[in-house]
Structures are given as structure tokens and as C-alpha cells.
């Protein structure tokens, strides 16, 4: 995939270089991999959809915290949800609703550089704002964290998460209009697991053998602090992509993880602003993917490497039973991420990879009542400054054009007219990937014509499950089929490269009652 180049490329100035940390100068694998604490409810509240039911109530503060990312680095100032990075993991069961109050306790000034001129945010817009979205949640619109419904310090946002959906690894993160990339980069994210007791029959590794793994890159300086780049050309806090020099696993740089020689389950998510990962075991050993964004696949997919765009999740089974006594690095291309230290003996059963998981139907294309062709565009803005990104050549503030009918199914054909890969995410819904096709576009915008030049590429086995974020490669049409179930109301869809999202590659859509 092509990621940033040419006019979008960014040179690092000498001053920045001097300060940038070179992780190879640090001692690798000295910190144990932390597992985020599981959040605890602080009370109960009435279920807004069922007045007879009391449901758990959580209180999570948006808070500055000092996070120790490596033994030999000073603590890193971060903005967190819940005081740790990643934030506490919220766990629930399907159809067990909860209320979360996200309280803005952030200091009065952002520690990352803010550009007020961006995104129509006028001088009167406070720089410290926060609003939380549960990524992958089938959430009512008023609880979804609409980007413009941010709260300022001292105020809170109260959300109802019904979890009436399949078991899956979701994640919560900031979604504030125009500064989402900065708030999230500063650390405002954590994981959210919906479990289904009916999945116990697969006997997937659980308890200490199931490890959530939030992996993201950041630019770290030698003093341990986060750096966010400012454009050399314009001096603005808008760069098309940010790629960090340090890859953090559950907030640690180059940790180790002691495992027994047996089967483990890793719930992996890519929490980077813009980096795509290609994860593998350095030894070349195979592993299995049993689930993706929205839950289990039909059957485990055997892999040597898994590609993950920002916002995507992968449920991986790794069998260490033949690696007793070894040290195995978990890597992404040439980057080491963490080291598994496999013990000599397993305490109990070694676990087995199930042959089949749960059955579900592929949605028939014939069930779609509408097909929309939507473009992913680069937008050269001569008047304002540089390069921006758009969906369907339409800026954020233009009237809503996508209005699917509640309980209807649509096909969205995502036509990538840019040179980059974009992970496109829709709120509220889950979808299936139909296929991808290479095209040549000749005056596409004027004539509405595409010439297809390659074979129809069916999704790989690990992309055959339910998804909420899909990788759209350049010069390809990526076709998804989407049942618009759950709630009517206003949501958003966007690119999950957060720099793109904050620079107009986001649009509202509205699910309307039929």
C-alpha cells in the first residue's frame, strides 16, 4: 500500500531530529507487558430503554496522567480516559446495557499544539474539548459521541451503551471535531469487550490466557515526551500523516510477555493515528485469526502475517506449545513490538484451536435496496493551504446526502481516487466486504464512468467476518454491504487515519425511518 509521499511527504528538521528518540538506544524487553485493569462500575442507573431495569453505571474521567512507557525513560505526559494508558478495559455481556459518564477533568490548555483556524473552529472555540465515541458499538445517536457534541473541562457526557450486538472487541476513543487526532494521540482511548456465554463452547483461551493488546505508534523525544509535528511549509498543525518512531504495546515500548507453552488468545487493535501494521512472529511461525472487528469468523484462518489498518481489530490465537524455553519476537515488518518468553511447562491443558466457529450468513447482494458510489478524494485547497482529503468531494458541513432507511440494506462502493490506503469506518453498523476491483477512472467525476481493469478480488478468509472498518486501497473500488439496523438518527462515517478524518475526510449520515 502507498502511504504518504510526494507533495504529502514531510521532512524532519534538524532540531526535531536532535530531540527524537532512537528506540534502538534503549534496552529492549526490560518491562513486562501490562494488561489494563478492568473498569469497575460505581453504581447503578435506570436503563433508558427499560424503566424496570437497573444497569451498571461507570464514571470515567478525561484526565492528564504521567505514563511510564519504558524503564529508562522519564514518564510521558498523556491525556487519558480513566487515568491510565490505555484506559481501563470495560467489559460486559451481550444485551447487558450500561451507562458511562465521561467527565472532562482535563487541564485548561492542550499540551499538543492546537491550530484554531482548522475545520471552521473559530477563535471562540475552546481548545480543550473532549467527546468519547465507542467504536463498533451499536449505540443510540445521542450516546454515540457526535464530533460537535464535545464537552469542556468541568462538564460531562453521559452515554448509554446497550451492547445488543455480537460479542466483539470494541474500543472507546476521543472524537472531538477538528482535534480528534490530537486528543487520541495524547492517549484518550481504551478497550471495550462484549462477551457472549454462548461462545464458551469453543473453549478459546480465557482468563490470564486471553490478553488484550492495544498497539499504536507515537513520536517520542529523548525526554520521553510526545511530539506532534507541525507542518514545515505552513507552520500549521496539519500534516497528512504521522508516523511514530516508537511502537507501544499496551502503553509500553518494547515490553516482554511471559507465556506458558500453550495456546493464547490475543485481542489486538491498531490504535495508531495513521500507521498500518503487518504483524507476524519473527520466527515465521503460523498463527490463527479467529475474529475481526465485529466478532468471530466462521472458521479460524491460518496466517503468517496479518495486516491491520488504524481502527481494525484482530482476534488471534498463538500456539506456543512447540516453543517451550524460546524467546519469540512479535514484529511488524522490521519493527520489534514485544518479546514472548515461553516458559518450560504449561500449568494445565494446552488448549486446542477450534475447527469451526459460529455460522453466519453472507448477505446476498440482491437484498440491497440501494447502491451508492462514494469517492475518497484528495483535495488541493489553493486558497487555504495545502492538501486535504474528502469523502464524495463534499466537506463536513454540507447537508447530509446519505440517508439510508432503518432496517434496509445498502451496498456502498468506495471508489478510492487517491494514492493512499484509507480505512473507512461507519458508526452504528456492521457490514460485510463483498469484493475489491481495480479501475481506471477517466473523468470520473464528470462522466460517472469507471473502467475496471482487473479481476474481482474476493476478501481473504480473515476479512470474511463482520467488519466496521475496511481497508480501501488506491485505485480500487471496495464494495461493502451494510444492513442499517439498530437506531434511526444522525451518525458519521470517516477515514480512520485521524489526520485525514480531522481534515474533512468525514461525513455525517442519517438513518431515517421508512
Kindly state whether residue 275 participates in binding Cu ion, applying the rule CB under 5 A: no
Kindly state whether residue 133 participates in binding ligand C2O, applying the rule CB under 6 A: yes
CA distance 295 to 427: 16
Kindly state whether residue 242 participates in binding Cu ion, applying the rule CB under 5 A: no
Kindly state whether residue 303 participates in binding Cu ion, applying the rule CB under 5 A: no
- Which of 329, 323, 327, 319 lies closest to 345 in space, CA to CA? 323
Block residue for cell numbers 518479546: 339
Q: Select from 118, 338, 497, 506 the one that contacts Cu ion (CB under 5 A).
A: 497
Which among Cu ion, ligand C2O, none contacts residue 495 (Cβ within 5 to 8 A by kind)? Cu ion
Kindly state whether residue 173 participates in binding ligand C2O, applying the rule CB under 6 A: yes
CA distance 41 to 45: 11
DSSP calls for 258-325: EE-SSEEEEEEEE--SS--EEEEETT---EEEEEETTEEEEEEEEES-EEE-TT-EEEEEEE-GGGTT
Nearest distance, CB of residue 424 and Cu ion, angstroms: 8
Distance between the two ends of the chain, CA-based, in angstroms? Answer: 40
The grid coordinates of residue 489 equal 438518527
Which among Cu ion, ligand C2O, none contacts residue 497 (Cβ within 5 to 8 A by kind)? Cu ion
DSSP calls for 229-267: ---TTT-SS--S----SEEEETTEES-EEEE-SSEEEEE
Nearer to ligand C2O, 438 or 490 (CB): 490
Q: Select from 70, 119, 175, 500 the one that contacts ligand C2O (CB under 6 A).
A: 175
Q: Select from 70, 119, 129, 135 the one that contacts ligand C2O (CB under 6 A).
A: 135
Kindly state whether residue 433 participates in binding Cu ion, applying the rule CB under 5 A: no
Nearer to Cu ion, 262 or 500 (CB): 500
- C-alpha distances in Å from residue 259, one per residue of 35, 38, 262: 13, 20, 8
Collect contacts of 10-13 with beta carbons under 8 A, ≥24 apart.
10/229, 10/231, 10/232, 10/239, 10/240, 10/241, 11/232, 12/229, 13/232
Kindly state whether residue 190 participates in binding ligand C2O, applying the rule CB under 6 A: no
Nearer to ligand C2O, 315 or 468 (CB): 468
Block residue for cell numbers 460479542: 167
**Residues forming beta bridges with residue 184, ordered by sequence position:** none
Q: Select from 247, 363, 477, 495 the one that contacts Cu ion (CB under 5 A).
A: 495
Q: Select from 187, 244, 311, 459 the one that contacts ligand C2O (CB under 6 A).
A: 311
Kindly state whether residue 430 participates in binding ligand C2O, applying the rule CB under 6 A: no
The grid coordinates of residue 168 equal 466483539
In the region spanning residues 29 to 58, those forming contacts with ligand C2O, defined by CB under 6 A, are: none
Q: Select from 262, 425, 467, 500 the one that contacts Cu ion (CB under 5 A).
A: 500
Kindly state whether residue 119 participates in binding ligand C2O, applying the rule CB under 6 A: no
Number of Cβ within 10 Å of residue 8's Cβ equals: 16
Q: Is there a contact between 12 and 20 (Cβ–Cβ < 8 Å)?
A: yes
Number of Cβ within 10 Å of residue 354's Cβ equals: 16
Kindly state whether residue 39 participates in binding Cu ion, applying the rule CB under 5 A: no
Nearer to ligand C2O, 190 or 311 (CB): 311
Q: Is there a contact between 432 and 467 (Cβ–Cβ < 8 Å)?
A: yes
Nearest distance, CB of residue 34 and ligand C2O, angstroms: 22
Q: Which stretch binds ligand C2O (CB under 6 A): 328-336, 428-436, 457-465, 490-498?
A: 490-498
CA distance 87 to 217: 16
Number of residues that bind Cu ion (CB under 5 A): 4
Report which secondary-structure segment, H or E, holds 16: helix 14-19
Kindly state whether residue 181 participates in binding ligand C2O, applying the rule CB under 6 A: no
Nearest distance, CB of residue 384 and ligand C2O, angstroms: 24
Kindly state whether residue 471 participates in binding ligand C2O, applying the rule CB under 6 A: no
Which among Cu ion, ligand C2O, none contacts residue 133 (Cβ within 5 to 8 A by kind)? ligand C2O
Residues that bind Cu ion (CB under 5 A): 422, 495, 497, 500
Residues that bind ligand C2O (CB under 6 A): 133, 135, 173, 175, 311, 425, 427, 492, 494, 496
Amino acid at each position: 500500500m502507498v502511504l504518504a509521499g510526494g507533495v504529502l511527504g514531510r521532512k524532519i528538521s534538524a532540531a526535531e531530529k536532535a530531540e527524537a528518540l532512537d528506540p534502538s538506544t534503549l534496552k529492549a524487553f526490560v518491562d513486562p507487558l501490562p494488561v489494563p485493569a478492568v473498569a469497575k462500575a460505581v453504581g447503578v442507573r435506570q436503563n433508558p430503554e427499560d424503566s424496570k431495569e437497573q444497569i451498571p453505571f461507570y464514571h470515567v474521567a478525561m484526565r492528564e496522567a504521567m505514563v511510564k512507557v519504558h524503564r529508562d525513560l522519564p514518564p510521558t505526559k498523556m491525556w487519558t480516559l480513566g487515568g491510565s494508558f490505555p484506559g481501563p478495559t470495560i467489559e460486559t455481556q451481550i444485551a447487558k446495557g450500561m451507562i458511562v459518564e465521561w467527565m472532562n477533568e482535563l487541564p485548561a490548555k492542550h499540551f499538543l499544539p492546537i491550530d484554531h483556524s482548522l475545520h471552521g473552529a473559530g477563535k471562540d472555540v475552546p481548545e480543550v474539548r473532549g467527546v468519547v465515541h465507542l467504536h463498533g458499538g451499536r449505540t443510540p445517536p445521542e450516546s454515540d459521541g457526535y464530533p460537535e457534541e464535545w464537552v469542556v473541562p468541568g462538564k460531562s457526557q453521559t452515554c448509554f451503551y446497550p451492547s445488543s450486538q455480537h460479542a466483539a472487541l470494541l474500543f472507546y476513543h476521543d472524537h472531538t471535531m477538528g482535534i480528534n487526532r490530537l486528543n487520541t494521540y495524547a492517549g484518550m482511548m481504551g478497550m471495550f469487550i462484549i462477551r457472549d456465554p454462548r461462545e464458551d463452547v469453543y473453549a478459546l483461551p480465557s482468563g490470564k490466557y486471553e490478553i488484550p493488546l492495544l498497539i499504536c505508534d507515537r513520536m517520542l523525544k529523548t525526554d520521553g515526551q510526545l511530539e506532534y509535528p507541525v507542518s514545515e511549509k505552513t507552520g500549521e498543525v496539519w500534516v497528512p500523516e504521522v508516523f511514530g518512531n516508537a511502537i507501544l504495546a499496551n502503553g509500553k515500548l518494547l515490553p516482554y510477555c511471559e507465556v506458558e507453552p500453550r495456546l493464547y488468545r490475543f485481542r489486538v487493535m491498531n490504535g495508531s493515528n495513521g500507521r498500518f501494521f503487518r504483524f507476524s512472529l519473527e520466527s515465521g511461525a503460523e498463527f490463527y485469526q479467529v475474529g475481526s472487528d465485529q466478532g468471530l469468523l466462521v472458521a479460524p484462518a491460518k496466517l503468517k502475517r496479518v495486516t491491520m489498518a488504524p481502527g481494525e481489530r484482530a482476534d488471534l490465537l498463538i500456539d506456543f506449545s512447540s516453543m517451550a524455553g524460546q524467546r519469540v519476537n512479535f514484529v511488524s515488518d522490521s519493527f520489534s513490538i514485544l518479546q514472548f518468553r515461553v516458559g518450560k511447562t504449561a500449568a494445565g491443558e494446552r488448549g486446542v484451536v477450534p475447527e469451526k466457529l459460529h455460522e453466519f450468513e453472507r448477505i446476498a447482494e440482491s437484498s440491497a435496496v440501494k447502491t451508492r458510489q462514494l469517492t475518497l478524494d484528495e483535495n488541493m485547497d489553493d486558497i487555504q493551504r495545502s492538501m486535504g482529503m474528502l469523502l464524495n468531494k463534499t466537506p463536513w458541513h454540507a447537508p447530509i446526502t446519505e440517508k439510508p432507511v432503518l432496517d434496509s440494506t445498502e451496498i456502498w462502493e468506495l471508489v478510492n481516487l487517491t494514492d493512499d490506503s484509507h480505512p473507512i469506518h461507519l458508526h452504528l453498523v456492521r457490514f460485510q466486504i463483498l469484493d475489491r476491483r481495480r479501475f481506471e477512472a477517466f473523468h470520473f467525476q464528470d462522466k460517472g464512468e469507471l473502467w475496471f481493469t482487473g479481476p474481482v478480488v474476493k476478501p481473504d478468509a480473515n476479512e470474511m467476518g463482520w467488519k466496521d472498518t475496511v481497508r480501501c486501497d488506491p485505485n480500487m473500488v471496495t464494495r461493502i454491504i451494510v444492513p442499517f439496523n439498530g437506531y434511526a438518527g444522525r451518525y458519521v462515517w470517516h477515514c480512520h487515519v485521524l489526520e485525514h478524518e480531522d481534515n474533512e475526510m468525514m461525513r455525517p449520515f442519517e438513518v431515517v425511518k421508512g
